[in-house]
Structure 1
Amino acid sequence: MEQGTALIDRVKARLARAFWFTLALIFLIESWLWDNVKEWLRALEKALGLERLEAWLEGLVSRLSPQMTLALFAVPMIGVLPLKVAALAILAHGHFLTGVVFIFAVKALTLGVEAFLFDICRDKLLEMQWFGRFYSLVLDVRAWASMLVKPYKARLAELGRALRAYAEGVIGKDGGDFSRRIARLRELARPRRET
């Protein structure tokens, strides 16, 4: 009986660790998207010549109350609901891969737009005490998630270095013999011109 209880306790502990690790990983992926998609949108904004949009939004936010700024900040989340419903419809019609890709694309776009808007709205939103506490909590959770995932990232980096070293051992640092062999095969595969 004790062995069964000990086994159940070990399984529970492993499941709890797996749950928290998965939650931390999802949070960090969202944070990564938040940080990077925003920059991609800024690059798109510059490429399309829409730099005035940011200045216009900053002017608009400066005239809004913190509560109205929060409403402006929430617009993209509400605006993508029809796209999320469309993604679920795609999934329901059996197009799993297309639906999943669509969901991730909508999620990435939403996070990017939210991050872009947050940079503009942050000061006004932080005027609300409850939002400041929530923002502080999110930063604490991000730090916790980073600490939880850090050992696994280190192991992956070590594995990457080992794989790179192995590949260099097989291929050579600059490709050496392997590159020459590939070039020779390409040369042999090219059709010969009659001169």
Structure 2
Amino acid sequence: MRRLLKPLWFLLAVLFLVEAWLWDRLAPVVAAIVGLLPWAEWTKALAALIDRLPPPAVAALFILPASLLLPVKFLALWLLANEHWFMAVGLLLLAKMLGLGVTAYLFELCREKLLQLPWFAWLYGHILAIRAWAHRQTEPARRAVRAAIAAVRQRLGFNGQLGRRIGLLRRRTRRSGGTA
């Protein structure tokens, strides 16, 4: 039985790590978007409000974005039920990315207050432990994928002069403000 459950545990670990990877990548993106918009004052005001609020109120504020996206997710389920597959999947992905990004951004603002709540500190510790478990579960597969990518790069010559030139172009583009 244990042998049959191993692929399921691996899949759950991968899904958890994808979610953690998105969390790590989307929080800075949302912060950058907020920085570009004329919301800098709003962000300062939000941070000041969070500092004044008691931890339970901060927890309610933290949960608010997820609850606001719930009707959007219900709409996506309705679209699925009515066989509008692409619109439903697109809406679900959009809601997921938006919710995850905003929640990750808010978490950075609320972390200190949230960790004052014993139940939240306990939950946060367990989530970090699950993340470490997921990394341990997927490490052999990630190592094999890295080795396969390195072999392909070696075979295609990306590790030699071509690879150095591509790296140089990427660094120059990043310094000049482009995206490569």
Q: Same fold (TM over 0.5)?
A: yes
**Aligned residue runs from structure 1 range 23-62, under 5 A:** 23-62=12-51
CA distance in 2, matches of 1:100, 1:54: 31
Q: Which residue type is aligned with residue 39 of structure 1?
A: P
CA distance in 2, matches of 1:75, 1:127: 19
Does residue 102 of structure 1 match 2:95?
no
Does residue 144 of structure 1 match 2:133?
yes
Q: 1:117 is matched with which residue: 95, 103, 106?
A: 106
Q: Indicate the structure (1 or 2) with the bigger Cα radius of gyration.
A: 1
Cα drift, residue 15 of structure 1: 2.6
What is the aligned partner in structure 1 of residue 166 from structure 2?
none
Does residue 168 of structure 1 match 2:131?
no
The answer for unaligned runs of 5 or more in structure 1 is 1-11, 176-195
CA distance in 2, matches of 1:132, 1:152: 31
Q: 1:78 is matched with which residue: 42, 58, 67?
A: 67
What is the aligned partner in structure 2 of residue 188 from structure 1?
none
Q: How does the TM-score come out when normalised to structure 2? A: 0.83
Q: 2:80 is matched with which residue: 84, 88, 91?
A: 91
The answer for unaligned runs of 5 or more in structure 2 is 164-180
Paired positions, count: 162
Cα drift, residue 107 of structure 1: 0.9
CA distance in 1, matches of 2:152, 2:88: 34
Cα drift, residue 173 of structure 1: 5.9
The alignment partner of 1:72 has SS state of helix
The alignment partner of 1:127 has SS state of coil
What is the aligned partner in structure 2 of residue 193 from structure 1?
none
Q: How does the TM-score come out when normalised to structure 1? A: 0.77
Alignment RMSD: 1.9
